Structure 1
Amino acid sequence: MKIRLAIAFVILATGKSYGYKKSTDTIFAAQLKPIGRTIINKQHQLELITSAAHFGFSFKGTACAVYATIAAAGQHNYLQYELDGVYQKRIRIDGGVTAPLIIKADGPGKHIVWIYKATEAHTGAIIISKIAAPGIKSMAIPKLPLIEFIGNSITCGAAADDSEIPCGTGDYHDHHNAYMAYGPRVSRALNANFVLASVSGIGIYRTWNRNGPSMPQVYEHADFQVNNQQKWDFNTYSPKIVSIALGTNDMSKGDGSPRAAFDTLQFVADYVKFVQLVKSKYPKSQIALLSSPMIRDTSNTILQHCLISIKKQIDIIYPRDKPVATFFFKAMDAHGCSGHPSVVDHEILAEELKPFFEGLLKAN
């Protein structure tokens, strides 16, 4: 759907009427109902932290103004949005810019917008202060089952989208597209809510080129930063399913950095402890362990054997809980940037995963 220009709606950015008859209403950040890791900061603004953290609102007319910024002048980040159920595009948000983002519809009437953070937590928060439009109302979070997707850059949708900036140019987060990642795709297809708890380069006991910090070290931190002491409130959501897709970076060769061989014993032991941590936060959730579409041959076999061992150990420790589910991806030739799945590849991954998650949702 193309978005038409509508000069009459300069009102939304300036407050002047320019012949516009209807009144403009405003909702402020604290009135929004987001899903994903977010906070209301000391300035009463909403900070979208994690990949695909999102919120919705409805308005009447042909345009609305979203007041979004980032903390650091001279830097940038990305939102993306859906209008009336149709995905539109990514929008660059520059620090220090005060003019609002104007979203325009094709015609009058009631419209529904969902705003998503396109990038991951480590790129910094996107700050929402208010939204202005005629008849604007905040959308409630749909009453649907929730899936939390824990993972690495693949789960983030990192390096997936080179439609605007070619691979090998720009900044790393210029190619993020969380909306099109496999987790959100699967969730939309199965009519489920989703949150992404994912960090590029992270693993269970080491990262892709360093010894840490690992996911178990940062999972409880609101923004996955090990030095930030603000903890996430795990009472915010109660997922039906927690999907964990880690191991790709533990098995990485280290990008030329000195690297010990992959330690299966440490990987399994640390993974079991991490699943126990997740279960302490979400005791009623179904745990699902996913392999990696980026790992082949012997390494793939090793990872699958590790996941089977982790499942067996967790099922023994929690005999009254739902058994851990496992899913093993087919190996993929990725077409995104720096060896990552592309937007099209994520569609393939989502199609592969849909029957698996559909079965888990029905069973739970």
Structure 2
Amino acid sequence: MDKTNILPATALQPYGRFILNNEQNLELISSAVHFGFSFEGSEASIYASIPDAEGHSYLQYELDGEYQERVKVSGNSQEPIVIKAPTDGEHTLWVYKATEAHTGPIVIEKVTGENIKSIQKPAAPIIEFIGNSITCGAAADPSEVACGTGEYHDQHNAYMAYGPRVARALDANFVLSCVSGIGAYRNWNSNGPTMPQVYEKTDFQENSAQQWDFGTFTPEVVSIALGTNDFSNGDGIKERLPFDSASFVSSYINFVKLVKSKYPEAQIALLSSPMQNGDSRTKLKNCLTAIKEEVDAAYPSDKPVAIHIFQPMQARGCTGHPNVEDHAILAEELVPFFKQLL
């Protein structure tokens, strides 16, 4: 194989959180982190692995602008993933990580194919979507592994989550910064580490030494969707104090200030939770309004904080999460909101 048929990991141009490790391989870290390349002929191969020999994760891909499927990456796999195109000729492939940062990295060593070239996304505004399992597209896709079976990440589908859908509808680029179960002042069943404590770490792990370089991407809009887990009653076994709106509001305000310190020019958008109904929906709305007022007062010359309150939803995915179709509904609701912000 001559050189134009091998693209090393260092030649790829990923969108999302990633690192180049000591072996100069690309570690895909965040949900829906993605890279693209073009090739000729009818197939290309992706050399992908994960550090856990016993484990597995998932990639998913888009061929010539059409979404195809999720592909399992097993820790013990020796064979590359072969992507077949229905025809010869030139093709464009975008590869996405379907699972979230806490599932662990997917390592890309190289891609091979005829006349293979790395491609970049067309220049477009970037939206960063910060959030919890809903933002990650967790528990959304039981099409291959039924709800309640397999591993938690077997039903992840980051590509079909509301954020990537909104970005595609608006011809925007996107990055996802999400962790299942995470909150602003407490998590679904623990007091931390919360999003404000892990946001600056590349892999959202509190004890990680790797700090994310916020100069990598400059979003025009940063969407923050936290609160579902702060409101949660936990697992019913572990002691759980009632929701504390003062703690929630003050932690959230400090987090917005942290985000603004990274991206001073970005428009901040706060999303409520489609999972909240009744009293908790009203309470979350009131909290977000209080956060907006305080942040706007602290940054009088910045664009005011925008808020979107979701219509309540009876989610149809696993464990009360939105499924792939529900994410389409959420995205449709959000497109006009983000269109205005961009």
Report the TM range for the smaller structure's normalisation: over 0.9
Question: How well do the aligned residues superpose, as a CA RMSD in angstroms?
Answer: 1.0
Residue 37 (structure 1) aligns with:
17
Task: Confirm whether residue 219 of structure 1 aligns to residue 194 of structure 2.
Answer: no
Indicate the SS of the match to 2:229.
coil
Q: Name the % identity.
A: 61
Residue 289 (structure 1) aligns with:
270
TM-score (norm 1): 0.93
Residue 95 (structure 1) aligns with:
75
1:327 equivalent among 303, 308, 313? 308
Residue 6 (structure 1) aligns with:
none
Q: Deviations over 1:272-328 (max 9, x none)?
A: 000000000000000000000001100000000000000000000000000000000
Residue 231 (structure 2) aligns with:
251
The answer to whether the 8 Å contact 1:73/1:94 transfers is: yes
The answer to whether the 8 Å contact 1:27/1:137 transfers is: yes
Q: Deviations over 1:63-102 (max 9, x none)?
A: 0010000011010000000000000000000002121000
The answer to whether the 8 Å contact 1:70/1:94 transfers is: yes
Deviation at 1:142, TM superposition (A): 2.0
Task: Confirm whether residue 56 of structure 1 aligns to residue 48 of structure 2.
Answer: no
Deviation at 1:141, TM superposition (A): 2.7
2:241 equivalent among 232, 235, 260? 260
Asked which structure has the greater CA Rg, the reply is 1
Task: Confirm whether residue 157 of structure 1 aligns to residue 126 of structure 2.
Answer: no
Q: State the 4+ residue runs in structure 1 displaced beyond 3 angstroms.
A: none
Residue 50 (structure 2) aligns with:
70
Unaligned 5+ segments in structure 1 are 1-14, 16-21
Indicate the SS of the match to 2:228.
coil
Indicate the SS of the match to 2:203.
coil
1:140 equivalent among 120, 123, 139? 120
What CA distance in whole angstroms lies between the structure 2 residues aligned with 1:180 and 1:72?
26
The answer to whether the 8 Å contact 1:180/1:343 transfers is: yes
What amino acid does structure 1 have at the position aligned with 2:28?
Answer: L
Residue 108 (structure 1) aligns with:
88
2:317 equivalent among 336, 339, 342? 336
Q: Deviations over 1:89-123 (max 9, x none)?
A: 00000002121000000111000000000000000
What CA distance in whole angstroms lies between the structure 2 residues aligned with 1:168 and 1:115?
27
Deviation at 1:193, TM superposition (A): 0.2
State the number of aligned residues: 341
What amino acid does structure 2 have at the position aligned with 1:145?
Answer: P
What CA distance in whole angstroms lies between the structure 2 residues aligned with 1:76 and 1:167?
17
Deviation at 1:23, TM superposition (A): 8.9
Indicate the SS of the match to 2:258.
helix
Is the alpha carbon distance of 1:268 and 1:63 closer, same or farther for their aligned partners in structure 2, counting shifts above 3 Å? same
Residue 173 (structure 1) aligns with:
153
Deviation at 1:24, TM superposition (A): 6.8
Residue 211 (structure 2) aligns with:
231
What CA distance in whole angstroms lies between the structure 2 residues aligned with 1:178 and 1:142?
21
The answer to whether the 8 Å contact 1:287/1:324 transfers is: yes
What CA distance in whole angstroms lies between the structure 2 residues aligned with 1:121 and 1:98?
23
What CA distance in whole angstroms lies between the structure 2 residues aligned with 1:142 and 1:243?
21
Residue 199 (structure 1) aligns with:
179
Residue 19 (structure 1) aligns with:
none
Residue 86 (structure 1) aligns with:
66
The answer to whether the 8 Å contact 1:23/1:134 transfers is: no
Task: Confirm whether residue 310 of structure 1 aligns to residue 279 of structure 2.
Answer: no
Indicate the SS of the match to 1:99.
coil
